[in-house]
Amino acid sequence: MNHSESPELKETRTWKKRLLYSWIITIPVMVLMYLPMLFDLKILDPKIHSVILLVLSFPVIFIIGFSTLKSGFRGFFSFYFNMDSLIALGTVVAYTTGILNFFFPIQNYSGISAMIMAIFVTGKYIESKARGKAGQEIRKLLELGAKEARVLRGKEEITIPISEIKIGDIMIVKPGEKIPTDGIITKGESSVDESMITGESIPVDKTKGSNVIGATINQDGILYVKATKIGADTFLSHIIELVEEAQGSKIPIQKLADKITNIFVPSVLGLAALTFAGWAIFGNVSSAIGNAISVLVISCPCALGLATPIALTVGSGMGAKRGILIRKGEAIQTMKNVKVVIFDKTGTITKGKPEVTDIIPLEKTSEKELILIASSLEKLSEHPLSKAIVNHAPLKKYEKVSKFKILRGKGIEGTIKEKKYFIGNKKLMAENKISLNNYFNQIEKLESEGKTTMILAESKKVLGLIAVADSLKEDSKNAIKALHRRGYFTIMITGDNEKTAKAIAKKIGIKKVIAEVLPEDKSDKVKEIQEKGAFVSFVGDGINDAPALKQANVGIAMGSGSDIAIESGDIVLTKSSLRGVVQSINLSKATFGKIKQNLFWAFAYNVLMVPLAVAGIVHPVFAEIAMALSSITVVSNANLLRRKKI
C-alpha cells in the first residue's frame, strides 16, 4: 500500500481551493445583493442586476460545486439518495429562480444559491481539516520512518535512500539513529526505544539474534542489522494499513445511520414539496420557493454521516499512539456488551518463557541421564516447554531419536537405542497405561505451586519428573483487578492440568479456570460460554489462539514487535501487556460513547431546525449556516475524545 500521500491532506487541499475560489466570486455577489438594500440605492437596472447575479453565481454552482451536484443528482437516477442530494437540488432550484424571474414575478434567489454553495464548501473545508487532524496519528507514524540507511556493500559503508534497501543488506545503526527497516541483529548490543510501537517508554535491551523494528531508535551501542523486511511488508506499514482499515470500516450503528439517511432524504424532498405547496396556496410563490429551499438545505444530513466515521477516526488514531490497533470498527460497538473476558495463559498472562525449576530422578535414574534423554526428545519439538528443558542444560551431544511423534496437548514419544520413551502430562501416561500411583504426592506438590510437571517414562516405568514454571507478567495482577472493578467476569483457559492452572489463577486473581484444553478445543469452550447468553472477549497470543479469537465476540490479539499476528484479532495490542486489554476496553467504550453523542446531536438538530424551516422562520442563507455548524459541532465533539484518559 502506498502511504506517501495522506488522503485527508489531499481532500483538505481540494476543499481549500474550492473555498478560496467560491468566496472570491461570492463576495461581489453579496455586495451586489445587499449594498443597494442597505443604502436604498438603485445602481443597476433590475434586469441587468439579475443577469450579473446569474453570471457570477454560475461558476460557484456548476464549476466549483460540480462534484456536489454530480454526487447529489446521481441519487435521483439510482433512487439511492445521499447527503449531497438536498444541497444539489436546493442550490439548482435557487439558481433557476434567477432565470424564471425574467418571466414571472418571483424573488430572485440566484445570488443566494452562490452563498449557499460557498457556505457549504466552507463547512466541507472545516470538516476535512478536522478529519485531517483526527487522522494525524497515521501521518506521525509515516514521519517516524528513517529516510536514509547506512549499509555495508562489500567492505564499504555507503548511505542510500530507504527505498533502495534490499533484503539481506547489513545496516549499520549508530546511537541515536533510527533503525531503517525490520531486521535481525548480527552484531552489537544496545537498548532500543520501541515506544512508537508499544507505547512503552522503557528501552528494550537487544543483543545478537534479537529482532528489531524499523523506525525504532537505537540508544547507546552500534548495531549491525540484517534487513529481513522492506517496504509494505514492514511492521510499521502493517500498523498504518491496519489503522487506515479501521478508520474506513463501518460499524453496525453506522449502517443503521446510512439506512436512515436513505429514507430521510426522500422524506425531506416530500416535505419540501409540501412546504412549497402550502406556502404557494396560503402565501405566495416567492415565499414558497424560499421556504422549500430552506427545508432542503437545512435538512442535509451531513452531521449524521459524519457522526460515526469521525469518532472512529479519532479513536483508532488514539489507539495507534498507545499500541492499541483497532482492526475492526465493529469491535467498538460490540465491546459494550462484553461481560466475560477469557485469557489464554502462556504468553498472555505469563511471559511465555518457561524455565525448569525442579528435576526429580526416580527409579535409580541419575539426574544426568534424565536430562540427556529428556533433552534428546524435546530438542525435536518447538513447544515452549521443550525449549525450556533444552535450554536448561545445553549438551554438546544428544542421543539419536527415531519414531519421533508429537502428541498435541499431551507430550512426545520417541525411540532411543530401541527403547520407547514418553515425556508429557498425566493424560499421556494414562493413555499408555503407565501407573503414577507411587509419585502422586510429588506431582501434586509441584502442581500446587503452579508448576507444569512433565513425566519421563520408558515403556511402563517412570524415570523422573521435570517441573517447569512460566513466571507471571508484572502487570497481570493489576490488570485483572481493574477488570473486576469494572464488573467483568474473568476466565483463564489453558492446556495445563487443573491444579497448576488453579495455582496460577489464584496468584493473579482470576475467577474461573478451564484447564487441560487442547489448542483446537479453545474455540469450542468460547462457544459454550456464548451459548449461555454471554458476550465474550478472548485474549490470546494471536497465533495458536486464532480460532478462539475468531469465535469470540471481540478477539484481542497480543504480541510484540514483528511476531504479532495482525490478522487474528479484532483488536491487536503491539505489546505483551494485559494493561493494554484494560486500555482497549476503555478506548472502545469511550469511542462508542462519542459516536452515540454525535448521532444524538445530528438527529436533534434536524428535529429542531426542520420545523422552523417549514414555518418560514429560517432564511435559506441562515439554513445553510446552521447546517454547516451542525457538522462542525459533530467534528469538534469527536475530537474531545482526545482528552479522555484510557
Q: Which of 221, 140, 137 is nearest to 179 (CA)?
A: 221
The x, y and z cell numbers of residue 397, run together, are 551431544
Residue 34, judged by CB atoms within 10 A of its CB (0-12, 13-18, 19+), counts as exposed
Q: Would you call 135 helix, strand, or coil by DSSP?
A: coil
Give CA–CA dist 457/316, Å, rounded: 52
The CA–CA distances, whole Å, from 421 to 192, 407, 438, 569, 643 equal: 44, 13, 19, 39, 61
Give CA–CA dist 547/5, Å, rounded: 36
Strand order in the sheet with 156-161: 156-161, 148-153, 170-173, 223-227, 183-187, 211-212
The x, y and z cell numbers of residue 479, run together, are 490488570
Give CA–CA dist 120/416, Å, rounded: 81
Give CA–CA dist 346/388, Å, rounded: 13
User: Which distant-in-sequence residues (6+ apart) come within 8 Å of 18 by Cβ?
Assistant: 64, 121, 124, 125
Give CA–CA dist 479/481, Å, rounded: 5
Give CA–CA dist 540/344, Å, rounded: 5
Q: Any idea of the CA torsion for 512, 514, 519, 525, to the nearest 10 degrees?
A: -90
Q: Would you call 341 helix, strand, or coil by DSSP?
A: strand
Give CA–CA dist 152/165, Å, rounded: 11
Apex CA 224: angle with CA 239 and CA 241, to 5°?
10
Helix axes 83-100, 285-298, angle to 10 degrees: 160
The CA–CA distances, whole Å, from 378 to 91, 456, 469, 473, 579 equal: 76, 11, 16, 25, 34
- Residue 220's CB is within 10 A of a number of other CB atoms, namely 11
Catalytic residue among 344, 470, 496, 545: 344
The x, y and z cell numbers of residue 13, run together, are 487541499
Our answer to whether residue 344 is catalytic in this structure is: yes
Give CA–CA dist 304/627, Å, rounded: 11
Catalytic residues, which ones?
344
